[in-house]
Structure 1
């Protein structure tokens, strides 16, 4: 039976700085780890690591720009080593840089492959994180997510964000099964029904429309051992953190 670490993506509480002050509360309500986003970890990386250690939390991964993996990989490798994580996660491509063609997404995958090969020499790994746009079909009916993961190769892992899969009009059960051998982290982002605008339609895990109880048996078919809570714009990050942790702990008990 898989033992899951529960992690909190600190992007979710970025609007209530300082971020490092959130660590003791996260440990108190049941988190084992935090997932970091830029720039939270770049100002004083050593001090941030000390504060994580003091709270009894580990770093499950760092989100970083794809351009950083391509243009200044050693900088981010150094961050990972100092923070005690093995996982670097490019999570996003700005709209202006998204290709409308399969070839463009194939180049994204190839960049990930090169970055992962360099990371592996440092004892690190690279994982892609999805949004909804990777599931929007191109003119030839292909999907960016399939193209980029194929081009990236087996050396690139996948952090699947279930909330964005739903918003991309894809079936999370099918995606969990299709990429079971690539998925190493699962983000349990939950969404309200279409049309809800409060908090951009995101809700604590378990409060939305996603059938987590139905999906949970599929988690063990993947390689994932980390479950991450994320919400893009919560009214109250503490409520988000506790409600989500309570739900996930009950789900996996």
Structure 2
């Protein structure tokens, strides 16, 4: 299994040349991009050169949904340049989040439309969750269920830790909707009272998420092809990237 590193984890540890070099030296073969990494074609070209220099692939990347709707040609040019085959929309700011079942349905149809457009361009497209999609609406509906039912062409990059943060069991979601999952963000939650200087997150294998069971479930029930390590706010990027990769290789027996 090839493990991928979400470069968002290293956003506070510049320059990118050193980050990408260190990532390759640790043994990673893939990285996942995020939009602030490639705001222009010129910026993307510089990242492309670094990927080539250190023999790294970027199979997937994040793009803001509005940019995919309003600046699709630019997004596609960047994705092609960086070698992506899958694009994920990753987030909604609080003010942009739907508030009702109807609004979430409209949002899901937006995702479905983008998925159809990108499919014709040769790309896979999916949604990357946080916790807010799992917070029940006033009528008890869970928004993620709406996305799954109303946007059938949209793949799912499951962020397991955020589901746990929403007080739900990710294994239930993998069991019910595994066929929609094509990528996973692998990160860990610090034990209660720890990791306060890292926003409550932990290096993979040093927190409370049962990754052995979850990876086994994903391999059995899902279509996961990209396994992406992430830490939302590490205070030491190299420590996180190194210890987390070591933990996962031990779990996989490789």
Name the TM tier (shorter chain): over 0.9
Out of 184, 187, 191, which is 1:186 matched to? 184
Partner of 2:126: 127
Whole-Å separation in 2 of the counterparts to 1:25 and 1:242: 10
Partner of 1:5: 2
Partner of 1:47: 46
Q: 2:179 touches 2:223 (CA, 8 Å); kept in 1?
A: yes
Q: 1:10 touches 1:19 (CA, 8 Å); kept in 2?
A: no
Partner of 2:68: 69
Q: 2:6 touches 2:32 (CA, 8 Å); kept in 1?
A: yes
Q: 2:189 touches 2:200 (CA, 8 Å); kept in 1?
A: yes
Please identify runs of 4+ aligned residues in structure 1 that moved more than 3 A.
Answer: none
Whole-Å separation in 2 of the counterparts to 1:96 and 1:27: 38
CA deviation vs aligned residue, 1:61-108 (integer Å, no higher than 9, x gap): 111111112212221111111100111111100001112211111111
Q: 2:229 touches 2:244 (CA, 8 Å); kept in 1?
A: yes
Query: Which deviates more from structure 2 when the two are superposed, residues 70-79 or residues 235-244?
Result: 70-79
Whole-Å separation in 1 of the counterparts to 2:181 and 2:2: 15
Q: Output the TM-score relative to the length of structure 1.
A: 0.95
Out of 30, 35, 42, which is 2:32 matched to? 35
Q: Map 1:1-253; keep pairs closer than 5 Å.
A: 4-43=1-40, 44-153=43-152, 155-196=153-194, 197-220=196-219, 221-253=221-253
C-alpha RMSD of matched pairs (Å):
1.2
* 5+ residue gaps, structure 2: none
Q: 1:187 touches 1:229 (CA, 8 Å); kept in 2?
A: yes
Query: Which deviates more from structure 2 when the two are superposed, residues 50-59 or residues 34-43?
Result: 34-43
Whole-Å separation in 1 of the counterparts to 2:176 and 2:25: 36
Aligned length: 249
What's the CA shift for 1:149? Answer: 2.1
Whole-Å separation in 1 of the counterparts to 2:243 and 2:177: 28
Q: 2:98 touches 2:107 (CA, 8 Å); kept in 1?
A: no
Whole-Å separation in 2 of the counterparts to 1:218 and 1:86: 24
Whole-Å separation in 2 of the counterparts to 1:150 and 1:70: 21
Q: 2:60 touches 2:87 (CA, 8 Å); kept in 1?
A: yes
Q: Output the TM-score relative to the length of structure 2.
A: 0.94
What's the CA shift for 1:175? Answer: 1.3
Whole-Å separation in 2 of the counterparts to 1:61 and 1:70: 18
1:223 alignment partner, SS class: coil
* 5+ residue gaps, structure 1: none
